[in-house]
Amino acid sequence: MTASVTVTERAAERIAQIVSNEPANIMLRVSVEGGGCSGFEYHFDLVPNAEPEDILIEHAGAKLLVDSFSLTYLAGSEIDYVDDLMSASFKIKNPNATAACGCGTSFSV
């Protein structure tokens, strides 16, 4: 199931850069939680260890955790990192989302 979420090279580089400035064993977790203006929202957190229900996604030396609940909503998604004149952030291209808010942090299915 881990192949159902992909991480771009840019996102992998940024994840590796973020965790390199943290204590050992810190990983980035992406999760989906209820809330936001469209019904669900993406959360990115640094965590010290994986939970039993987590799926570990590794790409180009970066480690990303996704819990099994969130993986249901993220299946088929691509996690990218965009750094342009307006902002720098992780962006999720989610084929399951039927609508999204203008800032891209919340969605509905």
pTM beyond 0.75: yes
Q: How many domains does the chain have?
A: 1
SS3 category, 55 = strand
Q: Which alpha helices (DSSP H) does the chain contain, by range?
A: 9-20, 68-74
Contact present, 68 and 32 (Cβ < 8 Å): no
pLDDT at 1 exceeding the cut of 70: no
Tell me the CATH number at 53: 2.60.300.12
Show the domain range for 88: 2-108
pLDDT digits (tens, 9 = 90+) for 51-109: 999 999 988 888 899 999 999 989 999 999 999 888 888 999 988 887 665 555 556 66
- What is the average per-residue pLDDT within 26-33? 91
